[in-house]
Structure 1
């Protein structure tokens, strides 16, 4: 599996795990709690495999930035959290930050 596909798997798994945190009730609800554990387990495993070929700084920036943006979007869509211009601006900054880091190359 390609490094970027592994990174995508890591991002999706992390977003799933983070999204499940909201409904674990302090890890008192079994299935959402298992979702957190499995989601983060897959995320870190896939991220570690992607790092065999991707530079650490670039991979982590993509993983953290895209994961944060997608988790915020899940919060807005699934959990009906407030969406306003400040959140939109923050999401745009995250996306542009990831783009700029990738344009920086690996020198």
Structure 2
């Protein structure tokens, strides 16, 4: 499966447009990690536990988007974008979405 944030793929021709596909996941932070992140916030620096959490969430959202694209018969997803939103205190959704196509 080819993924691109462009609306075309160089040296490829779109032969079929299959529509919007998306994948999402909602993740919550671990209370212990949240406490440590709060302490880190006082002294500054990267909140590595949050970085790791968001990387895992993006990877899962992409996997689910690709799974949906494959189910439509696509071999590429173009115009891939990410969106995040807070769902509840301590929980956030990460969504990956794009246009499923068949390219040659």
| TM tier, smaller | 0.3 to 0.5
Which structure shows the higher helix fraction?
1
TM (norm. structure 1) is 0.33
Q: Between Structure 1 and Structure 2, whose CA radius of gyration is higher?
A: 2
Between Structure 1 and Structure 2, the one with more strand by share is 2
* TM-score, normalisation: structure 2: 0.34
